[in-house]
Each structure stands twice: as C-alpha cells, then as structure tokens.
Chain A
Amino acid sequence: MRWNLLSEFEPILLANIHREHSHTLRVYEEQGGYRSLKRVLADQPREAFRDLIKGSALRGRGGAGFPCGLKWTFLPENHPGPVYFCLNADESEPGTFNNRILMEEDPHQVLEGLILSCYATKAATAYIYLRYEYPLAYKHLQSAIDELYAAGYLGDGVCGSEFSLNIYLHRGAAAYICGEETGLIESLEGRRAWPRIKPPFPAVEGAFRKPTVVNNVETAACVKQIADRGVDWFRSLGTPPDPNNPRDPGSFGPKLYCLSGHVEKPGCYEAPLGITVSELINDFGGGVWKGRKAKAAVPGGISMGLLTADELDCKLDFSGPGKYGCLGLGTAAVVVLDETVSIVDFLHNTCRFFAHESCGQCTPCREGTSWSLKMLDRIRAGQGRLLDLDLLLEIGDFIGIMPGTTICGLADGAAWPIKNAIRKFRDEFEEYIKRTNPTGYMETSPPLALELHSIH
C-alpha cells in the first residue's frame, strides 16, 4: 500500500522547480505566488498567523527539529525591538542539498515564507546567511529580492500594509560551524563563528544583542505552504505523535529528502515525513547502483550516524533514526554505501570532515576530532591497534552537548558516526587492523606519530 501512496504523492515544495524560469517573480505569481502573503497581511493579525504555524506543529527542517511556532513564541512580548530574523542558508552537512534546490529553482517560495515569518515575529530586518559555495543560489536570490523591492513586496509598507521589511543576503566564507545558529549570529556580526553559550537563547538575545529568530530555508518554504493550504492539510501528512511519548510533537508535513552515494538515481525527492530508508532508495532512487547490495546508509547527513543494511526499514521522521541508535533525522539526507565500501574509509572521511570543521573553541571537540582523525590515519597506514577502537569510542562517548562537554552540537555530530561505525561494524575494524598490522595489533605502548597532520 505504501508504494501506491508514495507514487501518488504530488510534490508541493518542489511543485514548481521544473518550470521554465521558475526562479522569476512572473512565473511564481502565475502559480498563485504571494496571494497568501497579501491575504495574511490584509486579514490576519500577526498573533493569529503565529498561532496558525504553532498549531501546525511544523518542526524546523535544519536538523534539530525544534517546533517552529514554539520558537517564535520565545520572543519577549512587548520588546521595544528591533527583532532580527536570520534565515539559515548555510546548508553544509555532507549529503545535504535540499535548500540549494529551493533557493536556486524557487527562491520566491522561500522569500514568501520568510516575509510571512518576519510578519509573525515582528522582525523588520532579515538576513539570509548563505553559504559561499552556492553562487547560483546567490544570483537567483539576489535577483528575486530585487524584483520584490521593485514590486512593493519589500521595503516600507509591504503590499501597502503597515508592515515594513528589508531582506539582505549575507555570504559566508566556507565554514560549516556557521550553520549552528549562534555561530551564524557571531559570523553575521563580523566575528569568528564561535557558537555562544546558551542561555540566553537567540530569541532573547541574538544578533546585535536583540531578539532574533533563526530558521532554516525549508522551514520557511513550509510556512508559505501552510499559509496556502492550512493546518489540516499539513497535519494530514507525516507521522502522528507517539502515544507512548508525551514529549513527541509528531512529524508532520512534506519533507525534502536528499539521496546520494551509491544509488542509481541520486537526487532530491519530496515525500511525507515517515517514509523508510529503503522506500527512498528503491522507490525514488532506483535501488542501489550496479545491482549491488547496500552495506550501510547515513540517515540524515553524516553527523547522524550510520544504519546497517538490516536497519533500512528505519522511518525517516524525527523520532525514527533515534530508535536505531542514530542521533536523529538531521537533514534527512540519505547517503548509501554499497557492499564494496570499507567502513574504515567511511569513518576516516567523516572524522576528517569534523576535524577540519571543528571551530576550536571547546577543547573536547577540537582535540577529540583531530585525535580521532590521527588515529584513523594511523589505522589506515597499517599501524592500527585494537586498543585504538576503545580510544575512539571513548572520544565518541565523551565529546558533545549530550555528555555535556561542549557548547554546541558539532561534537555530537562528530561523535555519532564514530560510535555507530565502531559499535555496528566492530568485526570489520578488528579484521582490518589485524590484517594490516599483523605483528603490532596487540601493542599498547604509545604509538609513534605519523608525520604531523595539517588540517588546513
């Protein structure tokens, strides 16, 4: 039955991306674009619109899945302002590209959602923090913003209402940590992107020490769709709350799934939250490539950890991957590893990424990520010891905000692939170490360093 449901699902967020000139205001308006914005500005008080989004139980699409409407209500009431809005377009999680597609192919959908979100949160200035590596998204967003100013959708008195808004594009400089919301704010302010200790949360004291909302690009697109189609439509899609978990707000709405790695048809696919990894691979991705079998899959960007081939019935909703020992849904970016991949190589790749991207502020993360990389380097150079696996697990278990040793979640993202890969594929690591270091794998004395490792 699910097969039928999936193949019959009409894309909503991606409905327009294949139209010619889909990034222009003309084409967007032809498809009914900005009608909801005009209606909301004319008929709906801010509070009513904010409560509508809260009632939809929309959860942020950037990775943590925090309820969007709830985040908005954390803004202090009656604050003299200004309130700032930051649209997080620093998408950098390996395997993830859904925001890029939205911004390149349908920037007005994102902007309409952003304007509605600013209206709901009383923000008069919005910054789109866009990663540098997306030049086409930059071009299309900038021309879309220019079109909006010319057409009276931005600036003083949006669409003739009392509400005024300016939107500015702010380009990053190739640093993953700028996707962390307080790192983003620090970077926006012109400093190194060191995440802040929370509290205070950005809603209370964020950009320029003023109340600030940070939302993801796809979240803004969902806001626009909820304004168009209503809460009942949104809640008709996805997974309802788990009755056994009173803290589960459910996983509602459509989701953009990124599928890459060893599949026949990599791409960005839209489906309701809660499809399984194997449905995504087989129904959308045409199966594992070259007729091979899957060995493992990343459920939501590499920081979420690893699923084995036996775990691909994992549901891709906010509580699915956690049931298999993964960190969470993350960005819902699935990366498939076929049976020929060495998990040692996979883990080396993820450790190298996090060692490169750790901002260096917290010692456990700075040292943990770089030592895990040095150990993986040594293992791959044929000098691994079985003891290294326990040391790696020690790093995996002790860095991050969950064990309480770091300021932000980057370290948790670095830890999860280590923990999952070694606990779920320990036999392969042990076999690799014994095979490549037959005389030294039982050594416990301090190892000699390989050559000094530069991370830049």
Chain B
Amino acid sequence: MTNQPAKTETPAGQRVLSDAIVAEIKAYFPRYPTLQAVTLPALHVVNAHLRHVPLQAVVEIAELLELAPAQIQDTLSFYGFFKQDAPHGETRAWVCRSVSCALRGGEEIFAYMCQKAGIEPGQTTDDGKLTLEFGECLGACEFAPCMLAGDTLHKNLTEESAGKFLQSPTG
C-alpha cells in the first residue's frame, strides 16, 4: 500500500482547481509582499467554488504559492471553517450560541432546527441543500437570536421563522 491520504475526492493527478479559480487566486498576489499571505484568500476562493477544500486542492494551492502542502494544511486546519472530506450544503447556516443569543433562546432554536431538519449539528441534509452549524457570536446581538445563512442574516429567529427557512433554505 502506498501512503495515500485517507479520503481524496479525486483520483491522484486529476486537478481540482479550474483555470478560473487559479486566475482568481493569482489576482490576490499583488496585494501582499509574500505569497504565503495569499493562503487565506486562496482557501476562501476554493471554498466558495467547491464548498470544501479537498486535499488535492491544498496541494495545488501550495504549488501556486510555492509552499509545502503541509504549510497550507497547517493554516487550514487551524480554522474550523474549511471542510475537507465532503462539500457543505448548498446553503451553510450558522446559528449563534453565544451569550446574547443564548439569553433569548438561541440554543433552543438551534436544537429545534436540527431536530426539524433531522440532522446533528454540523451535518448536511440528505438532499444536500443545507448544512446547519452552531456559530460563536455573529455580532448581531441586537437581533438575538440570530442566524447567518450564506450571506443573509436572519434576525430575531422564532420557531416559526426558523421553520419557514427550513422549508426553502437559501442564503
């Protein structure tokens, strides 16, 4: 057995970063005095396109930034943000569990949503439409309890509004 990573999305050698993704990453190069500083922007670009950052993408980002793949993986794994083994749902939603939201029922809403969607926190629905995660303070405490779904902030969540969101999750 060769010493291969446990779970790669693609057969070895098949590239996952399209020319368009590579061009998008390279557009960040002039902004920084080092290539390594493009790590986080590159991870965001890949994640926005692929909804995860598979190991093959890490290898390709490393080539672009003239780094060892381990350096990219080291940074990536520090942030809990980038999934690696499978894409997150079409919509990724964070329900806040920090203090201001918790005081106004955030944790109960999150439990209700997971139960309604039939998934555990962090999981994706079977139809691949929604990933539900807890978030730490979303910085929208005046609208507690709140949820960030994609780019949309859902304010003052109730079981009713959360249920409505679950019927057609978009963000």
Contact = CB atoms under 8 A, between A and B. Distances in A.
Contact of A168 (B31, B75, B94, B150): B31
A321 to B, nearest CB: 17
A350 B38 contact: no
A132 B94 CA distance: 12
Interface in B12-42: 31-34, 36-41
Contacts of A362: none
Contact of A93 (B41, B137, B138): B137
B41 A335 contact: no
A349 B40 contact: no
Contact of B136 (A94, A260, A335): A94
A136 B153 contact: yes
B99 A302 contact: yes
B132 interface: no
Contact of A94 (B41, B81, B98, B148): B98
Contacts of A189: 34, 36-37
Nearest to B28: A168
B34 A260 contact: no
Contacts of A133: 94, 135, 138-139, 148
Contact of A100 (B37, B41, B98, B140): B140
A174 B135 contact: yes
B103 interface: yes
A181 interface: no
A99 B139 CA distance: 9
Contacts of A168: 31
Contacts, number: 141
Give the bracket for the number of chain B residues in contact with chain A.
35 or more
Contacts of A97: 139-142
B78 A260 contact: no
A208 B40 contact: no
Nearest to A96: B139
A377 to B, nearest CB: 14
Interface in B95-154: 97-100, 102-104, 135-144, 148, 150-151, 153
Interface residues of A, number: 58
B135 A333 contact: no
B37 A188 contact: yes
B165 interface: no
A261 B75 contact: no
Contacts of A100: 139-140
Given A135-B151, A173-B79, A192-B78, A187 B139 contact: no
B160 interface: no
Nearest to B137: A94
A135 B44 CA distance: 13
A188 B41 CA distance: 10
B43 interface: yes
A192 B31 CA distance: 20
A67 B20 CA distance: 46
Contacts of A50: none
A298 interface: yes
A346 B100 CA distance: 10
Contacts of A261: 99-100, 103-104, 141, 144
A133 B65 CA distance: 26
Contacts of B78: 175, 192-193, 359
Interface stretch (A6-14, A31-39, A262-270): A262-270
A414 to B, nearest CB: 13
Given A187-B40, A191-B74, A356 B140 contact: no
- Which of B39, B71, B74, B78 neighbours the largest number of chain A CB atoms within 10 Å of its CB? B78
A259 B136 CA distance: 18
A350 B141 contact: no
B79 A190 contact: no
Contacts of B142: 97, 258-260, 266-268
Contacts of A95: 98-100, 137, 141
Contact of A173 (B40, B99, B141): B40
A345 B151 CA distance: 31
Contacts of B33: 82, 208
A148 B41 CA distance: 22
Contacts of A357: 136
A82 B33 CA distance: 10
Nearest to B34: A208
B80 interface: yes
Nearest to B33: A208
Contacts of A259: 142
B49 to A, nearest CB: 15
Contact of A92 (B97, B104, B137): B137
Nearest to A191: B75
Contacts of A258: 141-142
A347 to B, nearest CB: 10
Interface string B69-95: 001001100111110000000000010
B83 to A, nearest CB: 11
Interface of A: 82, 91-97, 99-100, 131-136, 139, 166, 168, 170-176, 187-193, 208, 258-262, 266-268, 298, 302, 333, 335, 337, 341, 345-346, 349-350, 352-353, 356-357, 359, 456
15 contacts: A94-B99, A135-B151, A168-B31, A171-B44, A175-B80, A190-B37, A190-B40, A191-B75, A208-B37, A262-B103, A266-B100, A266-B143, A349-B99, A353-B99, A356-B136
The 7 closest A-B pairs by CB, nearest first: A190-B39, A192-B78, A260-B141, A190-B36, A173-B79, A135-B151, A260-B100
